[in-house]
Amino acid sequence: MNSHYVVGLVDGEGSFSVFVRKPYSINSKRRVLVEPKFFVKLIEKDKAVLEALQKFFGCGRVYFQKDRRANHQNCYRFEVFNRNDLRNIIIPFFRKNPLQFPSKKKDFELFCKIMDNILKGSHLTTQGLLGIYRIKNQMH
């Protein structure tokens, strides 16, 4: 596994995503939750590729994802959700080794904006969380 292979794999099968929980009904007694994650999903027989990706990055986890939909196969996912790993490993890698697909590049840049906002603590305020939610809605 090398950086060119990883970029191609992520361009085709990877995703940068952010889940924002209840941005319009923030209760000050409840913890605001923003979950950024990077993942690659492949069919079950390609699990070894995901394990190699986990070894390449030295972080994340690989887990089984059952799919009960008709005409779909069970899959495995390599996922990184630890914010320190995202900030210190995943983001620097893709800054140094840019994605090629314009849509994937755009999602990555928006993901980086959201991570910057999280680092600043913006997700802990109503206005900041709504800003993150607006950025997230621009992602594919």
pLDDT value at residue 29: 52
Q: Which of 131, 35, 40, 31 is nearest to 83 (CA)?
A: 35
pLDDT in tens, 59-101: 999 998 777 766 677 889 999 999 999 999 999 999 999 999 9
Host H or E run for residue 51? helix 47-57
Extents of the domains making up the chain: 3-136
pLDDT in tens, 12-67: 999 999 888 665 555 545 454 788 999 999 988 999 999 999 999 999 999 987 77
Which one has a higher pLDDT value, 120 or 31? 120
Q: How far is CA 127 from the centre of its chain?
A: 23
Q: Looking at residue 24, what is its pLDDT?
A: 58
State the DSSP H helix or E strand holding residue 43, giving kind and residue range, or none if neither: strand 34-43
CATH code for the domain defined by 3-136: 3.10.28.10
Residue 123's pLDDT band (cuts 50, 70, 90): confident
pLDDT at 104 (0 to 100): 94
Section 121-133 average pLDDT? 82
Question: Beta-strand (E) ranges in 45-124?
Answer: 61-65, 75-80
Between strands 14-20 and 61-65, the pairing is unpaired
128: confidence class by pLDDT, cuts 50, 70, 90: confident
More confident call, 98 vs 121: 98
Give me the phi and psi of 134, to 5 degrees please.
-65, -40
- Please check whether residue 67 is in contact with residue 43, taking contact to mean a CB–CB distance below 8 angstroms: no
